[in-house]
């Protein structure tokens, strides 16, 4: 028994947890909540792209330390202070918006709020978008539809008029109808909702784009350069449908190509969904022929 007692006092007592008070627990909860809010803020703004760049630089810095690259380490040490100031200047609108939201928001409600579980484009939404786009293409109605992906476009969304409406064929066509209050600018779509209309998009400075492309196409390429969004453009002059992704523009897209892109965005199997739509179209065609 004495041997066991000595073992407990010498070894196990050293592994005992530190004394914690209620204040310590509250402090841990506050810090965890603050870190969670910062991560969500970064994810919902373009700052998330900056974080990825900083992670890459930190990895490069660690490699420089291991290989003892003195000149590169000197550059890193002298650039840190300037870099922090530059980050504050570049992301001043996002930081200001975050502080304004902090003043308006109920902190407790965000802890218990639940997000919508429907996070993908439904078959109905895909069908509505494809039909609306090519109906506007037929009538040469200019349109600019931004499909939000992983990077949230909160700042772009705030530049327009909030809608938060369910996607429908009639609504999409009516928004871009000539001489209507909402036709000028872009609409933002997240999941199965039209979040905002008449949104302003950043224009691309890419000089390799064709000179015949107008502001609508340059705006589509511009938003694809600063985010992972997919933008659908309908030309007002020719009625041609284009898709902008990753800073590149695909022109003269067909209905099947547009549907495949939307299916890919929805995260489901393209071949399975394509087969579904072809079977549905064949069934409708047979019913039409039988009726005639």
What's the pLDDT score for residue 9? 61
- pLDDT category of residue 43 using cuts at 50, 70 and 90: low
pLDDT tens per residue across span 199-236: 999 888 888 888 788 889 999 999 988 888 899 999 99
Q: Where are the domains of the chain?
A: 2-112, 123-283
pTM value? 0.60
pLDDT at 287 over 90: no
d(CA 259, CA 256): 5
The answer regarding whether domain 123-283 maps to CATH 3.40.1700.10 reads yes
Asked if 224 and 230 touch (Cβ cutoff 8 Å), the reply is yes
Asked if 195 and 163 touch (Cβ cutoff 8 Å), the reply is yes
Sign, CA torsion 104/110/113/116 = positive
Contacts of 111 (CB under 8 A, 6+ apart): 33
Q: What mean pLDDT do residues 88-96 have?
A: 67
Distances (CA, A) of 173 to 26, 57, 69, 137, 245: 53, 46, 59, 11, 23
Nearest to 189, CA basis, from 110, 119, 98? 119
- In the structure encoding, which two tokens stand for residue 86, read together? 């530059």
């Amino acid at each position: 028994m004495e041997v066991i007692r000595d073992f407990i006092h010498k070894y196990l007592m050293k592994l005992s947890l530190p004394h914690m008070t209620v204040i310590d627990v509250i402090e841990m909860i506050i810090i965890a909540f603050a870190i969670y809010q910062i991560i969500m803020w970064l994810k919902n703004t373009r700052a998330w792209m900056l974080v990825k760049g900083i992670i890459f630089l930190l990895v490069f810095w660690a490699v420089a330390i291991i290989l003892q690259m003195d000149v590169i380490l000197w550059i890193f040490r002298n650039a840190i202070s300037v870099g922090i100031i530059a980050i504050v200047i570049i992301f001043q609108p996002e930081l200001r918006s975050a502080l304004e939201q902090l003043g308006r928001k109920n902190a407790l409600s965000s802890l218990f709020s639940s997000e919508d579980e429907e996070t993908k484009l439904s078959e109905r939404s895909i069908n509505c978008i494809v039909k609306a786009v090519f109906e506007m293409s037929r009538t040469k109605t200019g349109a600019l539809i931004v499909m939000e992906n992983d990077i949230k476009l909160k700042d772009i969304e705030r530049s327009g008029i909030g809608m938060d409406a369910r996607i429908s064929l009639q609504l999409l066509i009516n928004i871009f109808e000539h001489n209507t209050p909402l036709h000028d600018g872009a609409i933002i779509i997240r999941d199965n909702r039209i979040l905002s209309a008449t949104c302003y998009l950043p224009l691309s400075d890419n000089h390799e784009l064709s000179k015949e492309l107008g502001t609508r196409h340059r705006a589509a390429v511009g938003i694809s350069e600063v985010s992972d969004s997919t933008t659908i453009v309908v030309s007002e002059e020719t009625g041609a449908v284009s898709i902008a992704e990753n800073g590149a523009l695909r022109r003269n897209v067909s209905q099947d190509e547009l549907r495949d892109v939307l299916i890919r965005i929805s995260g489901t199997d393209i071949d399975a969904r394509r087969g579904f739509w072809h079977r549905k179209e064949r069934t409708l065609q047979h019913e039409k022929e039988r009726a005639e």
